[in-house]
Amino acid sequence: MTSWTSWLDHTFNGLIIGNVYALMAVGLALIFGVSNLINFAHGSVYTVGAFIGWAAVTYLGTPLPVTIGLVLLGSALLGMAIERLGLRPLAQSVRIAPLLATIGISFLLDQVVQLLVGPDPRALPNPLPGWRIQVGTGTIGALDLLIAGIGLLSAAILYGFLRFTQLGWAVRATAQDREAALQMGVNIHAVNQTVFAIASALGGLSGLLVGMYYNNISPAMSFQATLKGVVAVVIGGVGHVPGAIVGSLLLGLTESWGVALFGTPYRNLFAFVLLIAVLVWKPEGLFGRRRSLPPEPLTGTFVAPSRPLQLPRWVWPAVIVLLGVLPWLLQPFEQGSYVLITLSNAWLYALLGLSLTLVAGTTGQISLGHAGLLTLGAYASALLALNFQLPVGLAIVLAGLLTSVLGTALVLPALRLRGHYVSIATLGLGEIVALVVLNWESVTRGPIGVSGIPPLTWAGQPLDSGPGFYWLTLGAVLVVAGLQTRLLRTHLGRAFRAVREDDVAARSYGVSPNRYKALAFAFGGFAAGIAGATSAHLFSYINHETFTSQISVLALTIVILGGMGHVAGAVLGAVLLVGLPELFRVAVEYRVLIYGVTLLLLVRFRPQGLLGTV
């Protein structure tokens, strides 16, 4: 039914949006190539660039070339500052530290922009002449051509720079082997700073141009931009600049054709399925050269090497008893039940943290898709209780098992990936879960969501908050934590750590990494599934947006804060990260800012986490 001309139009539209993604992807690819880092702050630089341009046009009335110059300059300076203040101090730290730092910087920048200009979207009119060229039945304008031109030009300049200049050689040398480059007398700090300046200048410029393209900029636009950019970069092959452009165009085409075939709601689903397909089929990307094994995760490079904090043996029983009697201690206080529900939430996040600390900390698979497991558990339990009238307690346990099976099955194709690729694949899987929930209406009720989810009951009384719910969630945490502690002391726990420390060595000792990774996901899936299911019965209503990808980031922060792989650390991390933002409530809009700064300080001064890595 779709005619040939429509296909042409769809193809053409795919190329146009791909063109827009490419601007973002080029900078990301450059940083990824040199620093081996997914720069989550790149989207925020893009936002800052757009607002620098907006401020220049609005307050100074600058013409376009001057605006572009200011944006390039401002964004480059911002990039250099990020490198100098945020990342260079972490150069000697573990691999995970800079990744987390970019997340913290991103929170910080977005929030600063929002505090300065307000949260409203703003118009950024396109000053270019209004002529349009007819292509098929659609048209393209001067801005489309400018975006394509700048994308190609920057790729060409970068290619020339990397290939033919001395600094470019230094950049490539650093990308290949940091230590060797250092020995050859390359000033790698200068190289990194140059790379961040160039990439950020491009990122800021893309924010300006894309903002003009849509005539719409807002402080909330950075996450989507980073997400699409990362997908495009991975498709093209990380660190490969022309590859990033081709990857972006392919991503645009896939989305556009996906819309043509199945309709608009499926759009992002296609983007992420393409991502997973590329990762499974050709993890180095379409253009990436199959490099010799990346230098991670070799011993201690990915997870901070440290000795866990030793606490006297009596501490844990004492803490448990104290937590157990807390509801009685809090009784006289007016806000006692608020503290209890906050702690109950912390226990649910502790379950999530326990799940991730096993997968990421013990087994070394940094998952950025754990919110997907919560969603699976929540929907499974809600639908079991509503459609089959199962008792809620039973539904929660079954949901845990289902999440364990489904989560492991989903992640199976990604098990052979390593390092950052695992993070990107799980990020994609998390998005896929949310999108399937949104689109599979006959089961999940689509965007309307599931309402009227019955609460947990105990002896006929609903356990929907208060002491009962507190004890139940605390109990679940203690059981899972106990099991996990036991597990880590067994042969299985040692095998998990062997996989994390050195997967080649583990294999040569006869430990099959994939099987152990799958086991870790299965155990972790159960804990996360129970957390999601219990939340669903607390909330009484869930939809595909109840557990956003922000929660995946929060989960990782919990794990790193507590200490990767540390069971009690995950619980402590959850209490702090759920509790502190509540304490910061007095700061209103500055709350997220404080959170971002805390995260950065933590990464800077205690990358191994509060209780240390196990």
Partner 1 sequence: MIKTPASPARRRVVFAAGLLASLALPGIEALAAAPSGEPVLFGVSGPLTGPNAQYGAQWKAGFDLALDEINAAGGVLGRPLAYVFEDSQSDPRQAVGIAQKFVNDRRIAIELGDFSSPASMAATPIYQRAGLVQLGFTNSHPDFTKGGDFAWSPSISQADAQPLLADLAIKTAGLKRIAVLHLNTDWGRTSKDVFVKAAAERGATVVAAEGYQADEKDFRSTLVRIRDAKPDGLVLISYYADGALIAGQARTVGLQLPLVASGSVYSPKFLELGGDAVNGVVTNTTFFPEDPQPEVQTFVRQFRSKYNREPDAFNAYAYDAVQIAAAAIRTAGSTDRKAVRDAFYRIKDVPSVVFGKANFDPNTRRVIGVKSVNLIINHGKWVVWDGKKALAAAK
Residue 518's Cβ-count burial label (10 Å; 0-12, 13-18, 19+) is middle
Q: How far is the CB of 464 from partner 1 (least distance, A)?
A: 5
Q: Does 582 bind partner 1 (CB under 8 A)?
A: yes
> Which of residues 5 and 490 has its CB atom nearest to partner 1 in the complex?
5
Q: Does 220 bind partner 1 (CB under 8 A)?
A: yes
Using CB under 8 A, which of 91, 127, 157, 224 touches partner 1? 224
Q: Does 219 bind partner 1 (CB under 8 A)?
A: yes
Helix axes 142-164, 188-214, angle to 10 degrees: 170
Token pair for 507: 């294999």
**By CB under 8 A, what part of segment 430-449 binds partner 1?**
438, 446-449
**Strand, coil or helix: what is 458?**
strand
Place of tokens 């659609």: 138
Q: How far is CA 318 from the centre of its chain?
A: 36
Token pair for 211: 């903002």
Using CB under 8 A, which of 132, 163, 289, 494 touches partner 1? 132
Using CB under 8 A, which of 60, 85, 116, 123 touches partner 1? 123
Bridge partners (DSSP) listed for residue 461: 458
Stretch that binds partner 1, among 11-19, 64-72, 381-389, 477-485 (CB under 8 A): 11-19
**By CB under 8 A, what part of segment 333-372 binds partner 1?**
334-338, 340-342, 345, 348
**Strand, coil or helix: what is 547?**
coil
Q: Does 330 bind partner 1 (CB under 8 A)?
A: no
Q: Does 467 bind partner 1 (CB under 8 A)?
A: no
**By CB under 8 A, what part of segment 562-581 binds partner 1?**
578, 581
Cα three-residue angle 47-50-54, rounded to 5 degrees: 135
Q: Does 310 bind partner 1 (CB under 8 A)?
A: no
Q: Does 116 bind partner 1 (CB under 8 A)?
A: no
What amino acid is encoded at 337 in this protein?
A: S
Q: Does 265 bind partner 1 (CB under 8 A)?
A: yes
Using CB under 8 A, which of 152, 187, 214, 308 touches partner 1? 214
Using CB under 8 A, which of 393, 413, 455, 467 touches partner 1? 455
> Which of residues 66 and 220 has its CB atom nearest to partner 1 in the complex?
220
Q: Are 140 and 132 in contact (CB under 8 A)?
A: yes
> Which of residues 301 and 540 has its CB atom nearest to partner 1 in the complex?
540
Contacts with 519 (C-beta within 8 Å, 6 or more apart), sequence order: 492, 496
Stretch that binds partner 1, among 69-77, 114-122, 193-201, 238-246 (CB under 8 A): 114-122
CA gap 477, 572 in Å, rounded: 12
> Which of residues 251 and 603 has its CB atom nearest to partner 1 in the complex?
251
**By CB under 8 A, what part of segment 514-573 binds partner 1?**
535, 538-543, 545-546, 548
> Which of residues 258 and 562 has its CB atom nearest to partner 1 in the complex?
258
CA gap 5, 170 in Å, rounded: 48
> Which of residues 78 and 574 has its CB atom nearest to partner 1 in the complex?
574
Determine how many CB atoms are found less than 10 A away from the CB of residue 102: 24
Cα three-residue angle 338-340-345, rounded to 5 degrees: 95
Written as one string, the DSSP assignment of 102-154 is HHHHHHHHHHHHHHHH-SS-B-----S---EEEETTEEEEHHHHHHHHHHHHH
Q: How far is CA 151 from the centre of its chain?
A: 26
Q: How far is the CB of 340 from partner 1 (least distance, A)?
A: 8
Token pair for 294: 């990346």
> Which of residues 137 and 512 has its CB atom nearest to partner 1 in the complex?
137
* Residue 391: CA count within 13 A, CB half-sphere: 8
Stretch that binds partner 1, among 7-15, 43-51, 479-487, 506-514 (CB under 8 A): 7-15
By CB under 8 A, how many residues form the interface with partner 1? 83
**By CB under 8 A, what part of segment 479-518 binds partner 1?**
none
Q: Does 423 bind partner 1 (CB under 8 A)?
A: no
**By CB under 8 A, what part of segment 42-71 binds partner 1?**
none
> Which of residues 50 and 303 has its CB atom nearest to partner 1 in the complex?
50
Q: Does 598 bind partner 1 (CB under 8 A)?
A: no
Q: Does 295 bind partner 1 (CB under 8 A)?
A: no
**By CB under 8 A, what part of segment 79-108 binds partner 1?**
none
Q: Does 451 bind partner 1 (CB under 8 A)?
A: yes
> Would you mind telling me the total number of residues written for the chain in this entry?
614
Q: How far is the CB of 518 from partner 1 (least distance, A)?
A: 30
Q: How far is the CB of 557 from partner 1 (least distance, A)?
A: 15
Q: Does 594 bind partner 1 (CB under 8 A)?
A: no
Q: How far is the CB of 50 from partner 1 (least distance, A)?
A: 13
Using CB under 8 A, which of 63, 119, 149, 305 touches partner 1? 119
Q: How far is the CB of 139 from partner 1 (least distance, A)?
A: 6
CA gap 208, 548 in Å, rounded: 27
Q: Does 207 bind partner 1 (CB under 8 A)?
A: no
CA gap 525, 519 in Å, rounded: 10
Longest dimension (CA), the chain: 77
Place of tokens 């987390």: 100
**Strand, coil or helix: what is 449?**
coil
Please choose, from the candidates 510, 521, 519, the residue with its C-alpha nearest in 3D space to the C-alpha of residue 490.
519
Query: Residue 334 phi/psi, 5° resolution?
Result: -60, -45
Token pair for 142: 């001067």
Q: How far is the CB of 262 from partner 1 (least distance, A)?
A: 10
**By CB under 8 A, what part of segment 138-197 binds partner 1?**
138-141
CA gap 263, 387 in Å, rounded: 29
> Which of residues 428 and 563 has its CB atom nearest to partner 1 in the complex?
428
Q: How far is the CB of 440 from partner 1 (least distance, A)?
A: 13
